[in-house]
């Protein structure tokens, strides 16, 4: 069972930052925002403190989101930008920065949750083309008139509905069965 140490996680952070910079373009403002965010994430990782890591992740995400212009998720180019240039690095960054307090992380972080989350993320991004595909079967020509606002609404609707569906599963009560009470002393 391979585990991610701090160096491995730092490499992931740097890789995600490089990915975001590559897709965001290079300007002083963007580089400053992403740089400060990465520095905070690294500090959180170094001192095993989650909070600066979370702030760094938010800064990097916000800077990247402001830098990358995606107006539609119907085109393959923009879809790839959204997934490779934004969704995957942001998710990786979130994972690394939020687990900063752990010394080592097991690489197999629960197969079922990981698979379901991956499917959930992909479905959210592909929700717009899927919706248009379904609509095109019934109403011809609607797909040509769909706006960015409508796409945003579809993605958010799918994200919220999917999130609620996946987290609806209630946490089970304590798995430890009540043991017989000890004899009074």
Partner 1 sequence: MRSSLLGTVLLTFAIAFAFAGVLYSNLSWIVVTVGILCAFTYAHMRFTAEIRRTDLEIERTVLDEMILADEPVGIKVAVLNRGQTAIRGTFEDLISSDCTISAGQNRVTAVLPPRSLLTMSYSITPQKRGSHNITGMKIEREDAFGLYLEDQIITQGTVLSAHTRKESFQTARKMAGREHLEFSGVSRSPAVVLRELEFEGIREYVAGDRARDIQWKILPKLGKLMTKTYRKEGVLQTMIFVDSGRSMRLEAYTVAKVDHALDLAVQLSNVLLSSLHPAGVAIFDEVKVLGKANPALGRHQFEKITRVLRSVPESFRAKDAETMFVEKPAANPQPRTKNSQTKPSENADKFLSTVQGLSKTRRGKGLGLGLDGAINDIIAVSKGREQLFIVITDLLSSREAVIAGARICQRTGNRMLVIHTYDDWYRKQGDASQAEEIERLYGNVSQSLKVEGLFRALGASYIRIGPADTASGIVRAIRRGRA
For partner 1, which is the closer residue by CB, 29 or 156?
156
Q: How far is the CB of 50 from partner 1 (least distance, A)?
A: 5
CA distance 142 to 135: 7
For partner 1, which is the closer residue by CB, 39 or 153?
153
Dihedral class, residue 69 (left if φ above 0, else alpha if ψ from -120 to 50, else beta): beta
Name the residue with tokens 């925002």: 33
Q: How far is the CB of 159 from partner 1 (least distance, A)?
A: 5
90 belongs to the binding site for partner 1 (CB under 8 A):
yes
For partner 1, which is the closer residue by CB, 112 or 137?
112
Name the residue with tokens 């959180």: 44
Q: How far is the CB of 58 from partner 1 (least distance, A)?
A: 6
116 belongs to the binding site for partner 1 (CB under 8 A):
yes
For partner 1, which is the closer residue by CB, 42 or 61?
61
CB burial of residue 170 (10 Å; 0-12, 13-18, 19+): exposed
Q: Which of 7, 134, 139, 175 binds partner 1 (CB under 8 A)?
A: 175
Helix (H) or strand (E) holding 4: strand 3-4
């Amino acid at each position: 069972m391979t585990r991610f140490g701090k160096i491995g996680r730092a490499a992931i952070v740097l890789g995600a930052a490089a990915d975001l910079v590559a897709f965001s373009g290079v300007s002083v403002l963007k580089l400053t925002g992403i740089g400060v965010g990465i520095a905070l994430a690294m500090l959180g990782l170094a001192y095993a403190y989650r909070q600066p890591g979370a702030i760094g992740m938010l800064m990097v995400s916000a800077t990247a989101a402001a830098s990358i212009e995606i107006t539609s998720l119907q085109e393959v180019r923009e879809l790839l930008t959204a997934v490779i240039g934004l969704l995957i690095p942001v998710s990786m960054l979130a994972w690394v920065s939020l687990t900063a307090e752990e010394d080592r992380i097991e690489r197999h972080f629960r197969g079922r949750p990981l698979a379901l989350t991956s499917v959930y993320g992909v479905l959210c991004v592909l929700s717009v083309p899927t919706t248009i595909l379904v609509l095109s079967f019934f109403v011809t020509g609607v797909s040509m008139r769909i706006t960015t606002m409508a796409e945003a609404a579809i993605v958010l609707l799918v994200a919220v509905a999917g999130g609620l569906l996946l987290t609806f599963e209630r946490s089970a009560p304590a798995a430890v069965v009540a043991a017989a009470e000890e004899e009074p002393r």
